[in-house]
């Protein structure tokens, strides 16, 4: 069985990438060890940029139907329930064209993404199959399987196969340890009657027992409970030991247990996301502590960055060196989120009463601090100028559509009519050859971004990060020359 791209792993990251490549017309084979979607909850949060990627797959409505917007953010409280700081939520129309926080049940999301693959006859899912060996040569990759067919040959292999990635081992990547390895008990329950529980996420910064409380979707609730010295990881996950830990909020008479397990929250990032025909994405490339809810989001951003490059290289419309920009662009970006999550983890996980008291006093000197999600730019790569590598927002156009609904998954040139009309013939031909969508005077909601920065046009990559920005037609020509 031959294909353009093989993907190892059909979790949310692998399924997203398969949808992107399938929509572009590449022949894709997805190899998934589990025969069916894993039925228990795992990830529960994604952000507005991630929803924007799901929108690009044509699955926004389906994802909205199984998720809920979290507009009230996350509240960090101390042992006395006094608010120390708040991670802000957003209204329904945030900068990415929707709420910046969404909560979901992972099996439902995975099913939506797998169902999406059914739209593409050029995408084949081999579920219940395990990769046994990987053999790369200059022309492609051979993946040996258990059963029939006995192997898949692909021009490229992307490992979306988690923290113990087989593909990462084949690449020979090394992991950089960013210092956080803390076991937590994750406890998922389904309420069987209405309780007076918060509908936002609460980070309880209690030195006696740090804890996270999440309202997921419907009657689903999650508690994440930090293990303390002396805790037996096996014993603490038993129902008779879990319920007393959360009896202040819920009892066995109020809810039924869905899952109880101890996980170690890691903060690691790989060096070496590509070697020849092998690439990695998602947890195979990095693991983020959950204190920002960014683990899944980071993997989906990997897909957005990698897919358009892989499509163009596979089609022969861009040099293979374009793939060399993948890790340099993504690594600093995801590192910014991991480092912030580690810092927040230090706030939440303080167990020394004196340290916690000093922390509380520092936060409570004034009003509760409110912070937004960071918006780091990409590292060096396929972009240029001071605004290159910045994520462009998704406002509404005058006709009511969200910006990306008009742009599709192509390059885009947006700008003042005078600047675009002054473009020379070579630049216009470059736009045509790249399949770029050109919007003249796209409306004040869009134009406000560049006007407030003294610019007159922008060029967007297919992942909606800026290729670059321009003040005039001459600069627009220089930016457009970077189109792959």
Amino acid 206: pLDDT: 97
Amino acid 147: pLDDT: 87
Instruction: Examine residue 453 and state whether it is found in any structural domain, yes or no.
Output: yes
Amino acid 336: pLDDT: 95
Q: Cβ(457)–Cβ(470) under 8 Å?
A: yes
One domain, residues 12 and 136: yes
Tokens 């292999």 belong to residue: 157
Instruction: Examine residue 279 and state whether it is found in any structural domain, yes or no.
Output: yes
Residue 292 sits in which domain range?
2-65+103-176+267-343
Q: What is the pLDDT along the chain (484 residues), one digit of tens a residue?
A: 699 999 999 999 999 999 999 999 999 999 999 999 999 999 999 999 999 999 999 999 999 999 999 988 899 999 999 999 998 877 778 899 999 999 999 999 999 999 999 999 999 999 999 999 999 988 899 999 998 899 999 999 999 999 999 999 999 999 999 988 899 999 999 999 999 999 999 999 999 999 999 999 999 999 999 999 999 999 999 999 999 999 999 999 999 999 999 999 999 999 999 999 999 999 999 999 999 899 999 999 999 999 999 999 999 999 999 999 999 999 999 999 999 999 999 999 999 999 999 999 988 887 667 777 788 999 999 999 999 999 999 999 999 999 999 999 999 999 999 999 999 999 999 999 999 999 999 999 999 999 999 999 999 999 999 999 999 999 999 999 999 7
- Distance CA(243)–CA(432), nearest Å, equals 62
pTM for the model: 0.96
Radius of gyration of the CA atoms of the chain, in A: 23
- Distance CA(181)–CA(321), nearest Å, equals 35
The DSSP symbol for 28 reads: E
Amino acid 367: pLDDT: 62
Amino acid 366: pLDDT: 73
Amino acid 93: pLDDT: 84
Instruction: Examine residue 287 and state whether it is found in any structural domain, yes or no.
Output: yes
Tell me which of 297, 323, 343 is where a domain ends. 343
Take residue 251 and report the two structure tokens written for it.
């009892």
> Residues, the chain, total?
484
Amino acid 110: pLDDT: 98
Contacts of 341 (CB under 8 A, 6+ apart): 180, 267, 288, 289, 290, 291, 292, 294
Any idea what the CATH number is for the domain that residue 156 is in? 3.50.50.60
List pLDDT tens digits, range 186-213.
999 999 999 999 999 999 999 999 999 9
Q: Cβ(449)–Cβ(393) under 8 Å?
A: yes
Q: What is the DSSP string of 410-449?
A: S-EEEE-HHHHHT--HHHHHHHHHHT-EEEES--HHHHHH
One domain, residues 8 and 157: yes
- Distance CA(401)–CA(173), nearest Å, equals 43
Tell me which of 343, 362, 378 is where a domain ends. 343
Count of the separate structural domains present in the chain: 2
Q: What is the DSSP string of 4-15?
A: EEEEE--SHHHH
Tell me which of 296, 323, 343 is where a domain ends. 343
3-class SS of residue 183: strand
One domain, residues 303 and 423: no
One domain, residues 416 and 338: no
Instruction: Examine residue 206 and state whether it is found in any structural domain, yes or no.
Output: no
Amino acid 89: pLDDT: 79
Instruction: Examine residue 395 and state whether it is found in any structural domain, yes or no.
Output: no
């Amino acid at each position: 069985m031959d294909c353009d791209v093989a993907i190892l792993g059909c979790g949310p990251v692998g399924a997203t990438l398969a949808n992107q490549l399938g929509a572009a017309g590449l022949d894709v084979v997805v190899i998934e060890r589990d025969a069916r979607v894993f039925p228990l909850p795992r990830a529960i949060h994604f952000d507005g940029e991630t929803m924007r990627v799901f929108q690009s797959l044509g699955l926004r409505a389906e994802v909205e139907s199984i998720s809920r917007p979290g507009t009230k953010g996350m509240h960090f409280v101390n042992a006395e329930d006094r608010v120390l700081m708040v991670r802000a939520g957003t209204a329904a129309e945030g900068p990415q064209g929707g709420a910046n926080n969404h909560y979901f049940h992972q099996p439902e999301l995975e099913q939506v993404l797998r169902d999406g693959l059914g739209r593409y006859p050029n995408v084949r899912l081999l579920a219940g199959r395990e990769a046994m060996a990987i053999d790369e040569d200059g022309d492609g990759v051979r993946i040996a399987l258990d059963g029939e067919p006995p192997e898949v040959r692909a021009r490229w292999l992307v490992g979306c196969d988690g923290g113990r990635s087989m593909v990462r081992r084949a690449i020979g990547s090394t992991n950089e340890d960013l210092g956080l390895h803390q076991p937590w008990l994750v406890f998922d329950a389904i309420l069987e009657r209405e309780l007076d529980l918060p509908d936002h996420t609460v980070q309880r910064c209690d030195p006696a027992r740090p804890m996270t409380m999440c309202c997921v979707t419907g009657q689903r609730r999650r508690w994440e409970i930090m293990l303390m010295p002396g805790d037996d990881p096996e014993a603490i996950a038993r129902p008779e030991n879990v319920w007393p830990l959360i009896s202040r909020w819920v009892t066995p008479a109020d809810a039924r247990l869905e899952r109880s397990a101890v996980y170690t929250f890691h903060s690691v990032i790989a060096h070496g996301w590509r070697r020849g025909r092998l690439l990695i994405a998602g947890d195979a490339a990095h693991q983020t502590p959950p204190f920002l809810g960014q683990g899944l989001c980071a993997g989906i951003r990997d897909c957005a960055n990698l897919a358009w490059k892989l499509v163009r290289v596979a089609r022969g419309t861009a040099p293979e060196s374009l793939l060399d920009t993948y890790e340099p662009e993504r690594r600093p970006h995801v590192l910014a989120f991991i480092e912030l999550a580690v810092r927040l983890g230090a706030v939440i996980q303080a167990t020394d009463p004196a340290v916690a008291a000093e922390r509380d006093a520092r936060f409570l000197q004034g009003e509760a601090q409110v912070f937004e999600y960071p918006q780091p730019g990409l590292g060096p790569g396929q972009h240029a100028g001071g605004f290159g590598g910045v994520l462009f927002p998704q406002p509404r156009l005058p006709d009511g559509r969200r910006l990306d609904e008009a742009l599709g998954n192509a390059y885009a040139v947006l700008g003042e009519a005078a600047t675009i009309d002054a473009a020379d013939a070579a630049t216009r031909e470059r736009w045509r050859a790249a399949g770029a969508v050109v919007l003249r005077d796209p409306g004040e909601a869009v134009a406000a971004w560049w006007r407030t920065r003294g610019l007159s046009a922008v060029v967007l990559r297919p992942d909606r990060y800026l290729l670059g920005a321009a003040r005039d037609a001459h600069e627009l020509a220089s930016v457009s020359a970077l189109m792959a």
